[in-house]
Structure 1
Amino acid sequence: MNKITYKKINYKHISDHFLNGYIRFQETTEVYYVEDNEMKLKNNNFLEDWDQEKLINVSRTLKDAVKNGGVLYAAYDQKQIIGFAVLDTKMFFDEYMNVPYIHSSKGYRGYGIGSYLFYLISQEAYKRGAKKLYISTHPAKESQMFYLARGCRITENINKELLALEPYDIQHEYLISPVSDTLKLIDIEYKTHYKMSAILVSKIASKLHRYLPNDEADFLNVCKILLMCDTRGYFSIGTLFLKRRTEVIKEENMEFFEDILFNYINEWDQVDQYCYRVLNYMIALKEEYYDYLLKWSDSENKDVRRASLVSMIKSSNKLVLEYDFDKMIFLVEKLKNDEDIHVRKAVGWVLKCSYFKYPERLEQYLRDNVRNLDRLIFRYALEHIEDPLREDLMNL
Structure 2
Amino acid sequence: MRDMSFYIHHLKTELRQVSTLEKAESSRRYFPEGFECLGVNAADIKQILKRFQTEYADLNAEQTLELTEAFLKEAKYNEEFLLAFALINKFVKRHYEDTLLARFEYWLEHYADNWSLVDDLCLKSIFNFLMARPHLIESMQHWALSKNPWCRRASCVVWVKFIKRKMGKQTYFLNTALVFKQCNLLLEDKNEFVQKGVGWLLKVTAIEHQAEVIRFIKENINRFTRPTLRYAIEKMDGETRKVMLQLS
Provide the TM-score with structure 1 as the length reference. 0.48
Alignment of 1:17-56 (within 5 A): none
- Cα distance between partner residues in 1 of 2:105 and 2:6: 26
Find the counterpart in structure 2 of residue 244 from structure 1: 90
Deviations 1:229-286 (A, max 9, x none): 1111121122222223223454132343233223222223322222222223445533
Aligned partners of 1:348 and 1:380 also within 8 Å: yes
Q: Secondary structure in 2 aligned to 1:371?
A: helix
Compute the displacement of 1:289 (Å).
4.9
The alignment status of 1:343 with 2:194, answered yes or no, reads yes
- Asked if structure 2 preserves the Cα contact closer than 8 Å seen for 1:275 and 1:311, the reply is yes
Structure 2 residue aligned with 1:390, among 218, 224, 241?
Answer: 241
Q: Is the 8 A contact 1:382 1:390 kept in 2?
A: yes
User: Match for 1:377: what amino acid?
Assistant: T
Q: Distance in 1 between matches of 2:205 and 2:96?
A: 24
Q: Which has the larger radius of gyration?
A: 1
User: Letter of the aligned partner of 2:84 in structure 1?
Assistant: G
Partner of 1:97: none
Aligned to 1:381: 232
Structure 1 residue 202: Cα displacement: 2.3
Q: 1:358 to 1:238 in 2, by over 3 A?
A: farther
State the alpha-carbon separation in 1 of the partners of residues 161 and 180 from structure 2: 16
Q: Distance in 2 between the 1:332 and 1:194 partners? A: 39
Residues 181-215 of structure 1, C-alpha deviations (whole Å, 9 max, x = no match): 43333233212213222222222223323335533
The count of corresponding residues between Structure 1 and Structure 2 is 215
- Which residue does 1:304 correspond to in 2? 151
Name the amino acid aligned to 1:294: Q
> What is the aligned partner in structure 2 of residue 225 from structure 1?
70
Equivalent residue letter for 1:201: I
Distance 1:203 1:355, change over 3 A: farther
Q: Which structure ranks higher in relative contact order (CA pairs < 8 Å, sequence separation ≥ 6)? A: 2
The structure with the greater share of residues assigned to helix is: 2
User: Residue 260 of structure 1 corresponds to which residue in structure 2?
Assistant: 107
Secondary structure, counterpart of 1:358 in structure 2: helix
Structure with more strand by fraction: 1
CA distance in 2 between partners of 1:322 and 1:289 (Å):
10
Q: Distance in 2 between matches of 1:243 and 1:356?
A: 28
> What is the aligned partner in structure 2 of residue 205 from structure 1?
49
1:155-196 CA-partner distances (Å, limit 9, x unpaired):
xxxxxxxxxxxxxxxxxxxxx516344333323321221322
The equivalent position to 2:134 in structure 1, one of 282, 286, 291, is 286
Letter in 2 for 1:200: D
Alignment of 1:91-110 (within 5 A): none
User: How far off is 1:337 after superposition?
Assistant: 1.0
Letter in structure 1 aligned against 2:106? D
Q: State the SS of the aligned residue for 2:14.
A: helix
Task: Label 1:283 to 1:337 Cα distance change in 2 as closer, same or farther (>3 A).
Answer: farther
Pick which of 353-362 and 223-232 moved more.
353-362
2:88 aligns to what SS in structure 1? helix
Residue by residue over 1:118-143, the C-alpha shift from the partner in whole angstroms, topping out at 9 and shown as x without a partner, is xxxxxxxxxxxxxxxxxxxxxxxxxx
1:381 is displaced (CA, Å) by 0.6
Structure 1: distance between partners of 2:173 and 2:191: 25
Partner of 1:187: 12
Could you say what secondary structure the match of 2:161 adopts?
A: strand
CA RMSD of aligned residues (A): 2.7
1:25-44 Cα deviation digits (max 9, x unpaired): xxxxxxxxxxxxxxxxxxxx
Q: Distance in 2 between matches of 1:187 and 1:331?
A: 38
**Hey, what's the Cα distance between the residues in 2 that align with 1:193 and 1:216?**
27
> Using the alignment, how far apart are the partners of 1:375 and 1:250 within structure 2?
42
In structure 2, what residue type is equivalent to 1:230? K
Compute the displacement of 1:322 (Å): 5.9
* Inter-partner Cα distance in structure 2 for 1:304 and 1:249: 22
Indicate how the Cα distance of structure 1 residues 213 and 375 shifts in structure 2: closer, same or farther if over 3 A, else same: farther
User: For residue 234 of structure 1, what is the amino acid of its counterpart?
Assistant: E
Distance in 2, matches of 1:263 and 1:287, equals 26
Cα 1:177/1:305, change in 2 over 3 Å = same
